[in-house]
A = this chain, B = another copy of it.
Amino acid sequence: MKFICSQKNLSASINIVQKAVSTKTTLPILKGILIETCGQKLKLVGTDLEVGIEHYIEANIVSEGSIVISSRLLGDIIRKLPDADVEVEVDETNNITIRCENSEFTLIGQPSIEFPELPAIEEENIYEIPQDLLKNMIRQTAFATALDETRPILTGVLMEIQEGIINMVALDGYRLSLRQGNIKTDFNNKAVIPGKTLNEIHRILSEEENSKVEIFFTDKHVLFQMANVRIISRLLEGEFINYKQIIPKEFKSRVKVKTRDLLDSIERASLLAREGKNNLIKFSVKDEMMTITSNAEIGRVFENLRIELEGEDIDIGFNSKYFLDALKILDSDEIYLDFTTNVSPCIIKPTDTNNYTYLVLPVRLAG
């Protein structure tokens, strides 16, 4: 095998497929990247068996073949090469020679036959979605997945597609994040995608408005396909919680507040909350004011916010982390906080769109 390609392209490509390479794997071959000629293109593949990423780049293919090379070492070498053409040559005994200007590396590769094949996915039932929308949907949901593996299904995000509407939902037992979008498809589907996969996809998706991503499902896998990248992930097995049941439809108090002001106030209050237990902050809503307080051994804090209140006054406690997480991903300048009682969930919603709902459970206040 022999090919020539630009250092910039090769380095960018390694960067992309490396996101699927685990450094902790016990299978040595998985620490490598598969490089394979593919017509007049070069295919790079990285996988940790959970998620696999294939990336295609332009190259001058002199002779065909394939090889597996240590991902870390190859990435470091190519990144450090000058911005020039890189020539890669592999002999029959899997010795790789990399030449670029005045540098010559000789590395020992592994035969590509040992590299696991990514699951084949038949490309039928296309779901097409703009990349920037998917990127936003991931950003606004994946953070709310459970981190511990007690209930594996909660480490994933439910992707529910019905009649041209896509819902992405994550929840961890303390809060729930729901984002809705529109998708171009005639088909319906429901699958739970690992949060880790989505976080990697988020880093690869572009923010350009006109680029699309195509999504295909099988029973066990999902494929995200973009211009030069294919990302294939296994799905989580099991039934996702019936989240619609959890979200209250009514409220007794609706607070309208500036997102940024609330974020700043809670960030300051949480400095004391973190000194105490549970990151506890307390909201007191009365007339046109909301007071946020937090107490710790070393001191206490009062934050006063001007709000618009519709309905009853309320005193309610929260873990500040769960509030901050949501406020950081909300794009709207103003939000509603909907309360019923101080032991029932609070709903956070943007004032200018219906596409996002966040639910957070209160912390029971003593006394």
State the A residues within 8 Å of B (CB).
70, 73, 76-77, 80-82, 96, 102-108, 264-265, 267-268, 271-272, 275, 297-305
Report yes or no: A102 in contact with B303, Cβ–Cβ below 8 A. Answer: yes
User: Whole-angstrom distance between the alpha carbons of A303 and B264 in the complex?
Assistant: 53
Nearest Cβ in chain B — how far from A152, in angstroms? 36
A82 surroundings in chain B (CB, below 8 A): 264
Report yes or no: A268 in contact with B303, Cβ–Cβ below 8 A. Answer: no
Report yes or no: A77 in contact with B298, Cβ–Cβ below 8 A. Answer: no
Report yes or no: B107 in contact with A298, Cβ–Cβ below 8 A. Answer: yes
Report yes or no: A302 in contact with B103, Cβ–Cβ below 8 A. Answer: yes
Report yes or no: A298 in contact with B108, Cβ–Cβ below 8 A. Answer: yes
Report yes or no: A108 in contact with B299, Cβ–Cβ below 8 A. Answer: yes
A305 surroundings in chain B (CB, below 8 A): 102
User: Whole-angstrom distance between the alpha carbons of A105 and B304 in the complex?
Assistant: 12
Report yes or no: B73 in contact with A301, Cβ–Cβ below 8 A. Answer: no
Q: In the complex, what residue of chain B is closest to A267 when comparing beta carbons?
A: B80
User: Whole-angstrom distance between the alpha carbons of A80 and B96 in the complex?
Assistant: 53
Report yes or no: B105 in contact with A301, Cβ–Cβ below 8 A. Answer: yes
Contact A268/B104 with A70-B298, A73-B298, A298-B70 known, Cβ cut-off 8 Å: no
Contact A103/B301 with A80-B264, A264-B82 known, Cβ cut-off 8 Å: yes
Report yes or no: A81 in contact with B268, Cβ–Cβ below 8 A. Answer: yes
Nearest Cβ in chain B — how far from A321, in angstroms? 15
User: Whole-angstrom distance between the alpha carbons of A103 and B271 in the complex?
Assistant: 13
Q: In the complex, what residue of chain B is closest to A100 when comparing beta carbons?
A: B268
Query: Ordered nearest first, which 3 A-B pairs have the shortest CB separation?
Result: A107-B299, A102-B304, A104-B302
User: Whole-angstrom distance between the alpha carbons of A81 and B300 in the complex?
Assistant: 15
Nearest Cβ in chain B — how far from A115, in angstroms? 17
Q: Which of B103, B298, B303 contacts A265 (CB 8 A)?
A: B103
Q: 7 additional contacts, CB 8 Å, given A73-B298, A80-B264?
A: A77-B268, A102-B265, A102-B304, A103-B265, A105-B302, A106-B301, A107-B299
A-B contact list, 19 entries, CB within 8 Å = A70-B298, A73-B271, A73-B298, A73-B299, A76-B271, A77-B271, A80-B267, A82-B264, A102-B265, A102-B303, A102-B305, A103-B265, A103-B268, A103-B302, A105-B272, A106-B299, A106-B301, A107-B298, A108-B299
Report yes or no: B301 in contact with A104, Cβ–Cβ below 8 A. Answer: yes
A299 surroundings in chain B (CB, below 8 A): 73, 96, 105-108
A297 surroundings in chain B (CB, below 8 A): 108
User: Whole-angstrom distance between the alpha carbons of A272 and B96 in the complex?
Assistant: 14
A268 surroundings in chain B (CB, below 8 A): 77, 80-81, 103, 105
User: Whole-angstrom distance between the alpha carbons of A362 and B171 in the complex?
Assistant: 59
Q: In the complex, what residue of chain B is closest to A299 when comparing beta carbons?
A: B107
Report yes or no: B303 in contact with A271, Cβ–Cβ below 8 A. Answer: no
Report yes or no: A105 in contact with B73, Cβ–Cβ below 8 A. Answer: no
Report yes or no: A106 in contact with B303, Cβ–Cβ below 8 A. Answer: no
User: Whole-angstrom distance between the alpha carbons of A80 and B303 in the complex?
Assistant: 12
